[in-house]
Amino acid sequence: MTDLPANADGGGCPSGLAPPDTKSAHGTDLSAFVTQKGNLNRLHLSVRGAKCGGCLSKIEKAVHALPGIDTARLNLSNGQMEVLWAGDLKPSRIGETISNLGYGVSVHSEDDAAKDAKREERSLLIAMGVAGFAAANIMLLSVSVWGGHGEMGQTTRDALHAISGLIALPVLVFSGRHFFKSAWSVLKHGRANMDVPISLALILAFSVSVFETINSGKHAYFDAVVMLLFFLLIGRFLDARLRRQAHAAAHDLAALRNSSVNRITSDGKTETIRADAVKEGDTILLAAGERAVVDLRLTSGTSEIDESLVTGESLPRIAAAGATVYAGSVNLGQPLRGTALGAAADSLLSDIAGMLEAGEQRRSTYRKIADKAVSLYVPFVHTAALLTFIGWLVFGASIREAVMVAVATLIITCPCALALAAPVVQVVASGRLFKQGIYLKSGDALERLATVDHVVFDKTGTLTLGEPVLNEDGVDPETLNKAAMLARASRHPLSRALVTAAGAGNLATDVKEFPGLGLEADLDGVTCRLGSADWVGVEAAEATDGPSLWFLEGENTPILFRFSDEPREDAAETITALEQLGLSLEVLSGDRADAVQRLSDRLGIDQWTAQASPQDKVERLENLRAEGRQTLMVGDGINDAGALSLAHASLTPGGAMDVSQSASDAVFSGGLSGILDTLSASKTARTRMQQNFGLAALYNLIAIPIAVTGNVTPLIAAIAMSASSLVVTINALRR
């Protein structure tokens, strides 16, 4: 667990992205939701309002301080927190501890978490639309006041100000509630966040405008209030939209784990149950074409098992009684029976789910450029406004004058440019990448992608096409057509590849399939076989390495068909380009050693690892991290999901498994060149973000002295604030 320096001790959440809601576990008995994990008690909670590294550190440290706590791990992307402890600690104390920090807490629900994220985004969008509509209308009234300066009567001006106030009041209450709730939730616990100065600026500017309108003042600042709301809500909405799908991997994996299972009862009947109802020792029927959702030890049947999404092995393997079939594998042939080795929660898929959670937790601790910038902003703004107010009073100004200058200072330093600096760059970069067939999913992914120095590739389906291709050199077309007549009766990948090479044709009649061996049929009265070397009588010493099929026609000499998983067309070109960028490369695959070595040599990659399990891949990523490497993982299978999530940054091709796509930072299509496009865009985006924060800092250095000395009104301050937002937006749009 990593402790973060930003606001870790009472500074509050500098982002203020969402306040805790009213649903709370404070004072609620949570004992019914406690489960056991070994000798420890386990409780899953949903924490609301925690949006930055400072929040994460503060919550985890507070819970860890409770007696008996073993683990307290919060995932910022989905708000899920897991707590493990030993002893007699009451779970309600955990909820109270989090609630007393100013955060909402309740029993965790995957459905509720997804609904809350969508609800937040929709609420921000509506609030932004209302504020934008109101700002346009109030500006029309303000233009009339400005245009009629010196000619418009006092009564008319007061009426226009009053109408503006009537429009602004409900907008302030409705659209501003996102900031007010967040500010109040931390203030009542003696803390502060970015929304405190924003709320002060909005309330004070509105109050001063009401005072000026009642006293027939020349200026009111209702337009500044609503414009400020509109620009701030743009930043909030953009950030919420980029965050909403950050925890989609867990949902996709849960969908696999929550599938139904066919269980055979003690009286021999078959019943369909939920996967989470399976217990160790249950007898499970795995039908042809079905994906296993629990780990099984086979008791009867022989069939080919496709483990490509679990282990990365490109070819199916024969599984018979005594073999272990892991959750996520697909039965390609005959029905199988097996004994469950444990509940769904103890399967390989669950282990991968744990890796995903650990990966999301680590990414949550990543110190984004925006977090670094805003961590110092709250005390600075508060101090500047307070000193301005006190200073003007000391030098003899009236309370009204001092308040006006302080409000102008709050408005002119309001973090519009700061709030937009990163999100607008992310949205622009995401749009440009989308046009290139690359879907960026994580808000801070661009920053992490820009710093990678080492690339780890999966093999099957990533560097290669993921499908075997027949090597047609020396293959007799007539023999190929005869073999294809048998192959058309099989779903085996090598049979499919042979049929693809042969093209359209006839299917032999009465084709018999022998699990683990091959196919047999009569062609023009001659018995023909297609399958393994043993099936056609080839001695083991004569068998070839690599994927192959043998065809035997009658008493003739068996014919060998060789297959290979070909590299993608642009693989070699992409590898060369990445090396020219100064990146080191390696291949990390679950496939056979000979296949991995052959591909690595062909592409010029010196470092490679074969037959790596999902745990092996994670261990390799952890070792690279310990060495100080910023690793980019590129993979496509369920077996890659844990590594994709735990890597510093990750990419996956468009044809990958949903879980892998969700676990990665971006999905690319159209070939491996998408990796180069993504890295190039990320470096440009990181530069633009740094420039934007520099521009925002420069703006404050110039604007604050002018505001503090009383040379701007709240209206001019609002215009200046809007101009700074426009500048960072234009900079983000630059090529």
Residues with catalytic function: 458
The span from the CA of 658 to the CA of 252, in Å, is: 6
Q: Determine contact, residues 712/413, Cβ cutoff 8 Å.
A: no
DSSP code of residue 463: I
Q: List, in sequence order, every residue forming a beta bridge with 44; answer none if it has no partner.
A: 82
Residue 243 and residue 427: Cα distance in Å, rounded? 12
Residue 279 CA, chain-centre distance (Å), reads 32
CB-CB contact of 35 with 103 (8 Å): no
Using CA of residue 109, residue 344, residue 346, residue 661, what is the dihedral sign? negative
Cβ pair 288, 334 in contact under 8 A: yes
CA R_g for the chain: 32
d(CA 538, CA 517): 12
Tracing tokens 């390989």 back to the chain, one arrives at 348
Cβ density class 187-218: b for 16+ within 10 Å, e for less: beeebbbbbbbbbbbbbbbbebbbebbeeeee
- 80/56 Cα distance (integer angstroms): 11
Task: State the burial class of residue 272 (Cβ atoms within 10 Å of its Cβ: 0-12, 13-18, 19+).
Answer: exposed
Report the Cα 603 to chain-centroid distance in Å.
30
Torsion of CA 95, 97, 98, 104, to 10 degrees: 60
Q: In this structure, what token pair is assigned to residue 158?
A: 């007061």
**Cα–Cα distance, 290 to 294 (Å, whole number):** 12
What distance, in Å, lies between the first and last C-alpha atoms of the chain? 39
> What is the residue whose two structure tokens read 């110190």?
367
* Residue 343 in tokens: 């509940």
- DSSP element (H, E) containing 667: strand 666-668
**CA 218 – CA 204 distance, rounded (Å):** 18
How many Cβ atoms are within 10 Å of 619's Cβ, its own excluded? 14
3-state secondary structure of 300: strand
E-state strands within 25-130: 35-37, 40-48, 69-75, 80-85, 104-107
Q: Residue 662 and residue 441: Cα distance in Å, rounded?
A: 8
Tell me how far apart the alpha carbons of residues 303 and 295 are, in angstroms, rounded to a whole number.
16
541 with 532: CB under 8 angstroms? no
The helix (H) or strand (E) run that includes residue 362 is helix 348-364
DSSP code for 642? H
